[in-house]
Amino acid sequence: DTEVTQTPKHLVMGMTNKKSLKCEQHMGHRAMYWYKQKAKKPPELMFVYSYEKLSINESVPSRFSPECPNSSLLNLHLHALQPEDSALYLCASSSGTGIGYTFGSGTRLTVV
Amino acid sequence: AQTVTQSQPEMSVQEAETVTLSCTYDTSESDYYLFWYKQPPSRQMILVIRQEAYKQQNATENRFSVNFQKAAKSFSLKISDSQLGDAAMYFCAYRSPRGTASKLTFGTGTRLQVTL
């Protein structure tokens, strides 16, 4: 298995809702990432997990809460989001710095 | 902090022709990795080619090759025999060698159109 699987592919949520994005990989990669991508812009790093521990938080608002329950799974819990949080959320994993990331196909999030 | 610059927001190439996408970067590190990623409308970021800074030889992957100029901090991507399926957003990216979980820094991207 050489894929990063993200679910759901599309999500519409209200500003008072609580939802979660899920990311899964079975490549044995020990680093996992969440990126946010607005239209026609490059991805922006949000969080990095290394060996299931949060190693980088790029000053992301607390309405985004990451979780790494095990080495294969990464979640992003969403609560009280704003319309400007609407974006494509990409998950990625890597096994080493020289290899590059393997990306999932993303979750298109719309906050109404 | 490292920065990556792509000065061409959009490029166009005719099918079967060759096109070169530009990328420059700024870093104080001597060892690092550079990548080109492709993002088609399907949204998934696909690794096209990678280059290790300590290797002088330019990387090649089928129709894709790079011109890596370390002193000039330049990393351009050449696509030969362009195909309709090459149409996508292309991002140049930099990665520090420090740690398994080092971040990937992206350029602003170049949208490539392929015409008949």
- Nearest alpha-carbon partner for B73 in B91, B98, B53: B53
Which residues on B lie below 8 Å from A56 (Cβ)? Answer: 101, 103
Question: Mutate which of B100, B108, B112 to disrupt the A interface (most A C-beta within 10 Å)?
Answer: B100
pLDDT at B102: 79
Average confidence (pLDDT) over A18-33: 95
The amino acid at residue A71 is S
* Residue A96 C-alpha, separation from nearest chain B C-alpha, in angstroms: 5
Question: Span B5-10, mean pLDDT?
Answer: 97
Burial of A59 (0-12, 13-18, 19+ CB in 10 A): exposed
What's the confidence (pLDDT) of residue B1?
A: 75
Mutate to test the interface with B, among A52, A103, A105 (most CBs of B within 10 A): A103
Hey, is the C-beta of B24 within 8 angstroms of any chain A C-beta? no
Residues from chain A that touch B40, judged by Cβ atoms under 8 A, are none
Dihedral sign, Cα of residue B40, residue A107, residue A104, residue A38 = positive
Among A56, A89, A75, residue whose Cα is nearest residue B45: A89
B55 touches chain A (CB under 8 A): no
CA distance B9 to chain A (A): 10
Percent residues over pLDDT 90 in chain A: 89
pLDDT of residue A5: 96
Asked if the model's pLDDT at residue A97 lies above 70, the reply is no
Arithmetic mean of pLDDT, A35-62? 94
pLDDT at B99 over 70: no
Report whether pLDDT(A99) > 80.
no
For residue B97, what pLDDT is reported? 75
What is the structure's pLDDT at A100?
80
What tens digit of pLDDT does each residue of A64-76 get?
A: 999 999 999 999 9
**Which residue, A2, A6, A3, is CA-closest to A74?**
A6
Question: Is B96's pLDDT higher than 90?
Answer: no
Yes or no, beta carbons of B101 and A98 under 8 Å apart: no
With 90 as the cut, is the pLDDT of residue B66 above it? Answer: yes
How far does Cα B27 stand from its chain's mean position?
Answer: 16
> What are the angstrom distances between the C-alpha of B97 and each of B49, B65, B72?
17, 22, 20
In angstroms, the Cα distances linking A61 to A1, A49, B45, B48 are 33, 17, 25, 33
pLDDT for B47-62, tens place per residue? 999 999 988 889 999 9
Q: What is the rounded average pLDDT for all residues in chain A?
A: 93
Average pLDDT over residues A2-8: 92
In this complex, the residue of B46, B97, B100 whose CB is nearest that of residue A50 is B100
A107 pLDDT more than 80: yes
A102 contacts B100? CB cut-off 8 A:
no
| Rounded (to 5) percent helix, strand, coil in chain A | 5, 55, 40
- The closest of B95, B89, B104 to A45, measured between CA atoms, is B104
Per DSSP, the three-state class of B1 is coil
With a CB cutoff of 8 Å and minimum separation 6, the contacts of B28 are: none
Compute the average pLDDT of residues A4-23. 96
Which chain B positions have a beta carbon within 8 Å of A66's beta carbon? none
CB–CB contact A97 B106 (8 Å): no
* Average pLDDT of the segment spanning B79-90: 97
